[in-house]
């Protein structure tokens, strides 16, 4: 099963050309599930998520559309499989106009149900404490979807954190997890010795970035689980090559293939 996560950079830059390049890249990847961050819709009715889903022939769910100057900003899940239910869980702090959510969905593949969560954490360098609070909230969502005897939960998104940060170590169990007995495995290092930078100064949009050369985007799989179900068979980056001269986004996409056979 192929999962893609990608921050698609809202309406920044030449977004119309970028949107076409994003779509072409996704078509070439042939994913089963796509988790997108920084998607948008317009109060006039234009809707990036609906456009992608229609063109790719996929089902979709999205976070609530909160308008700012006529546009929304959020997360979306695209799925080749029908979506049984979807829920948007707002992340801390919840007392302001924040746009950070954990979007969770249950997908019906026919032979099994697949729980998937798409998220996007706060981005400032000095917000590790807030991101840790957001990870704790996300773990509540994971726990609600997790059954150690069934298909594991897939958590994907832009975490705005490096692998050795406190917030990522909370997810993988290298630091105490928010919920005892529940952790998540990081897909990238299971198949790669390269750093897997998704925020990369090789990207032409990052020539003035304050801190490039970081892996910020992840796919995690819940544990315990009935291995080898949910193990990682491959993980690679996409969106690196320009499409008709256009680099699709300021982030590279992460593409992960999961083992779908049980014990």
The CATH number of the domain holding residue 79 is: 3.60.10.10
In-domain check, residue 263: no
| Number of domains the chain contains | 1
The answer to whether 83 and 59 are in contact (CB under 8 A) is yes
Q: Which candidate, 218, 181, 182, 183, places its Cα nearest to that of 197? A: 218
pLDDT 10s digit of each residue in the chain, 263 long?
A: 999 999 999 999 999 999 999 999 999 999 999 999 999 999 888 899 999 999 999 999 999 988 778 898 999 999 999 999 999 999 999 876 667 999 999 999 999 999 999 999 999 999 999 999 999 999 999 999 999 999 999 999 999 999 999 999 999 999 999 999 999 999 999 999 999 999 999 999 999 999 999 999 999 999 999 999 999 999 999 999 999 999 999 999 999 999 998 76
Judged by DSSP in three states, 223 sits in strand
Would you say the pTM of this structure is higher than 0.85?
A: yes
What is the C-alpha separation between 237 and 116, in angstroms, rounded? Answer: 20
Structural domain containing residue 122? 2-258
The answer to the question of residue 87 being in a domain is yes
How many Å separate Cα 223 from the centre of its chain? 18
């Amino acid at each position: 099963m192929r999962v893609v996560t990608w921050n698609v950079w809202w309406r920044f830059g030449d977004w119309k050309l970028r949107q076409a390049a994003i779509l072409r890249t996704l078509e070439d990847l042939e994913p089963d599930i796509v988790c997108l961050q920084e998607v948008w819709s317009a109060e006039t009715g234009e809707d990036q998520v609906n456009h992608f889903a229609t063109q790719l022939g996929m089902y979709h769910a999205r976070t609530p559309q909160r308008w700012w100057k006529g546009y929304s900003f959020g997360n979306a899940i695209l799925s080749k499989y029908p979506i049984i239910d979807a829920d948007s869980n707002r992340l801390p702090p919840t007392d302001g106009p924040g746009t950070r959510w954990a979007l969770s969905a249950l997908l019906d593949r026919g032979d099994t149900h697949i729980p998937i969560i798409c998220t996007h954490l706060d981005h400032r360098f000095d917000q590790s404490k807030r991101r840790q609070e957001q990870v704790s909230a996300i773990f509540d969502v994971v726990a609600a979807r997790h059954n150690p005897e069934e298909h594991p939960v897939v958590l994907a998104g832009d975490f705005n954190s490096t692998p050795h940060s406190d917030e990522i170590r909370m997810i993988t169990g290298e630091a105490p997890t928010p919920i005892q007995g529940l952790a998540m495995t990081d897909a990238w290092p299971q198949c790669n010795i390269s750093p897997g930078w998704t925020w990369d100064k090789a990207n032409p949009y990052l020539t003035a970035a304050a801190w490039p050369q970081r892996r910020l985007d992840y796919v995690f799989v819940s544990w315990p689980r009935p291995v080898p179900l949910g193990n990682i068979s491959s993980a690679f980056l996409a969106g690196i090559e320009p499409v008709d001269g256009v680099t699709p986004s300021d982030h590279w996409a992460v593409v992960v293939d999961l083992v779908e056979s049980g014990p």
